[in-house]
Amino acid sequence: MKNRLGFGSVCARERKEIGFNPSHQLPIHATSSFVFDNLQEGIDVFAGRKPGHIYGRFGNPTVDTVAEKIASLEGYGLAEQPVCYLLSSGMAAVSTLAIALLKSGDKILTQGNIYGGTTSLFNQILAPLGIGCELTDLAQLDQVADQLKRDPAIRMIYAETPANPTLACVDLKGLAEVARNAGVWTAVDNTFATPYLQQPFALGIDFIVHSTTKYLNGHANTISGAVLGMDAGLMRTKVYAALKLLGTNANSWDAWLVHNGMKTLALRMERHCDNAQALAEFLEQHPKVARVNYLSLPSHPDHELAKRQMRRFGGMLSFELKGGLAAAHAFINRLELCTLAPTLGDVDTLVMHPVSMSHMNVPKEIREAAGITDGLVRISVGIEDAADLIGDVGGALEG
């Protein structure tokens, strides 16, 4: 540069990173674009002849590194590895996948007890675009096979297992088989189980979505999501094009937070499972509790299925108080250690009253048929000392 730069130019100019060897921890690439040494390099990267980043919405080294790590967890032990993209939320993952693969006239077949936001996405956003949504009980595989035969417009089955808040499960191996025979894609929300407890790809499922906001991050400090698929062609063309053009990519800061959280995923999940087991056993024998939904308990209708397709039974449970609505309100208001918050999968224990919060707009007869009664309380069991949790829950039950 011939002339000395002005002060403002020195302020504005980007500098090359100082350093000779790689940092131990993943750097946060807070940049909207990437530079080229010369025009030929730019042309080669744009043309795909040379690997490289172009623009932050198309990819970022921090974000891509974290996506690859999630792919290695969902593909752990498999001969082939899935392709993963990290997105701005769990909802971004579901919407990007659906818009990438489906067109007007196609239908999604799903179940009534998936996350409420996903149901609203299907009904309020996809339906007006001509992508329909049919509800069925995905646990009834003969019924599903029959429905696929009768309705060729169904192009994708979308399942959540275990599902909120009763932890009802779907037989993923059976579902994948039924769908494959009909030439229909399967997509599973694996947020509740995480790849540590359940690997849908190993059971034949085509696509996985995550709200990485939950267990993968584990510390309640990001909103982000992931979409994964075993068909690399579809992922790298259709799904990638959709995320790029919808702009549903994750940012590097959220990606870094998810990465940091995932380092302890295995440890956290073991502790979540231990604590949930201890709390479920305590609640099951309590005289004020009518019913406990936890997958390890032989009383749960999906206990045997969960044993087959999950490593352990997870950190989520729900239970019904004999005293109904008033007892649920009083119980929640008396808790001191557990926190009332509408999320899950964090290191601290979170409590939610579905009827007053997540399911407040669902008609009473529909939610009660799904086991979501006035006295039902959901707990995302954290990693505190089990004795403290039981003390807090026990104290709140006594009043």
Ligand X SMILES: Cc1ncc(COP(=O)(O)O)c(C=O)c1O
**Active-site residue numbers?**
57, 115, 189, 214
Quote the least distance from Cβ 62 to ligand X, whole Å. Answer: 19
What token pair was written down for 281? 């056993």
Enumerate residues 6+ apart whose C-beta is below 8 A from 112: 119, 135, 137, 366, 370
Beta pairing class for 225-229 and 289-293: unpaired
Quote the least distance from Cβ 217 to ligand X, whole Å. Answer: 9
Residue of 59, 90, 165, 261 interacting with ligand X (CB under 6 A):
90
Q: How far is CA 105 from CA 118, 237, 293, in A?
A: 19, 21, 38
**Closer to ligand X at the Cβ: 325 or 341?**
341
Quote the least distance from Cβ 261 to ligand X, whole Å. Answer: 13
Fill in the amino acid letter for 397: L
Range 14-21 contact pairs with CB under 8 angstroms and sequence separation of 24 or more: none
**Closer to ligand X at the Cβ: 147 or 260?**
260
Give me the 175-194 binding string for ligand X, x by CB under 6 A, dash otherwise. --------------x-xx--
Q: Is 354 in the site for ligand X (CB under 6 A)?
A: no
**What is the total residue count of the chain?**
399
* Region class of 395: left (phi > 0), else alpha (psi between -120 and 50), else beta: alpha
Site for ligand X in 183-242 (CB under 6 A): 189, 191-192, 211, 213, 223, 225
Q: Kindly write down the DSSP assignment for every residue of 318-363, as one continuous string.
A: EEEETTHHHHHHHHHHH-SSSEE-S----SS-EEE-TTTTTTTTS-
Quote the least distance from Cβ 320 to ligand X, whole Å. Answer: 20
Angle at 268 between CA 334 and CA 64, to 5 degrees: 120
* CA dist., res. 11 & res. 185, Å (int): 52
Beta pairing class for 107-110 and 83-87: unpaired
Whether 186 contacts 173, CB under 8 Å: no
Whether 53 contacts 73, CB under 8 Å: no
**Closer to ligand X at the Cβ: 252 or 358?**
358
Quote the least distance from Cβ 148 to ligand X, whole Å. Answer: 24
Whether 228 contacts 86, CB under 8 Å: no
Beta pairing class for 289-293 and 350-352: unpaired
**Closer to ligand X at the Cβ: 190 or 392?**
190
* CA dist., res. 60 & res. 220, Å (int): 23
Quote the least distance from Cβ 250 to ligand X, whole Å. Answer: 11
Quote the least distance from Cβ 227 to ligand X, whole Å. Answer: 12
Q: Is 89 in the site for ligand X (CB under 6 A)?
A: yes
Q: Kindly write down the DSSP assignment for every residue of 213-226, as one continuous string.
A: TTTTT-SS----EE
Q: Quote the radius of gyration of the chain (alpha carbons, Å).
A: 23
Give me the 29-68 binding string for ligand X, x by CB under 6 A, dash otherwise. ----------------------------------------
**Closer to ligand X at the Cβ: 199 or 327?**
199
Binding window for ligand X (CB under 6 A); candidates: 13-21, 61-69, 83-91, 362-370: 83-91
Site for ligand X in 5-34 (CB under 6 A): none
Which of 163, 132, 222, 159 has its CA nearest to residue 358?
A: 163
Q: Is 111 in the site for ligand X (CB under 6 A)?
A: no
**Closer to ligand X at the Cβ: 225 or 375?**
225
Binding window for ligand X (CB under 6 A); candidates: 55-63, 85-93, 231-239, 372-380: 85-93
Whether 215 contacts 382, CB under 8 Å: no
Quote the least distance from Cβ 9 to ligand X, whole Å. Answer: 41
Q: Is 95 in the site for ligand X (CB under 6 A)?
A: no
**Closer to ligand X at the Cβ: 122 or 282?**
122
Q: Is 91 in the site for ligand X (CB under 6 A)?
A: yes
How many residues at the interface with ligand X, by CB under 6 A?
Answer: 13
Binding window for ligand X (CB under 6 A); candidates: 68-76, 87-95, 251-259, 260-268: 87-95
Residues that bind ligand X (CB under 6 A): 89-91, 115, 117, 160, 189, 191-192, 211, 213, 223, 225
